[in-house]
C-alpha cells in the first residue's frame, strides 16, 4: 500500500495583537494576501496551518518591485503543533516577489 501525505489547508490567519493602523476592510485584505502568499510559496507542502500577523502594519520596502510606497506585513507561519515553520514578508500584490 502506498501512503500519501495529506496536505492541510491554511486553517487560520491570526492578528497577533490589536493593530491600530488596520480597519476591518484592511484586515480582510491582509488575510486575502496571506492566503495568496501561502499558495504562491507552497507553504501547504511545508506543513503550515496557521499564519500570525505581526502587529506592525504595512511597513518597509516593497520587495523586488522597488515600490517602497506599499511595503509588507511580517507573517509568522506555524504548523499544527504551533511550532515555527518560517517567517515571510507578505506584499500587497504578487508583483513584489
Q: pLDDT of 30-77, one tens digit each?
A: 999 999 999 999 999 999 999 999 887 778 765 555 555 668 899 999
Q: Is the model's pTM score more than 0.75?
A: yes
Can you give the pLDDT at residue 9?
78
Neighbours of 30 (CB within 10 A): 22
Ranges 46-50, 65-69, 81-85, 92-96: which has the least confidence:
65-69
Amino acid at each position: 500500500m502506498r501512503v500519501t501525505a495529506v496536505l492541510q489547508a491554511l486553517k487560520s490567519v491570526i492578528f497577533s495583537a490589536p493593530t491600530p493602523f488596520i480597519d476591518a476592510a484592511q484586515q480582510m485584505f491582509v488575510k486575502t494576501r496571506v492566503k495568496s502568499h501561502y499558495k504562491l510559496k507552497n507553504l501547504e507542502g511545508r506543513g503550515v496551518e496557521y499564519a500570525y500577523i505581526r502587529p506592525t502594519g504595512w511597513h518597509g520596502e516593497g520587495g523586488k518591485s522597488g515600490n517602497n510606497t506599499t511595503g509588507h506585513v511580517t507573517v509568522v507561519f506555524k504548523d499544527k503543533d504551533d511550532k515555527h515553520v518560517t517567517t515571510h514578508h507578505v506584499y500587497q500584490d504578487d508583483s513584489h516577489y
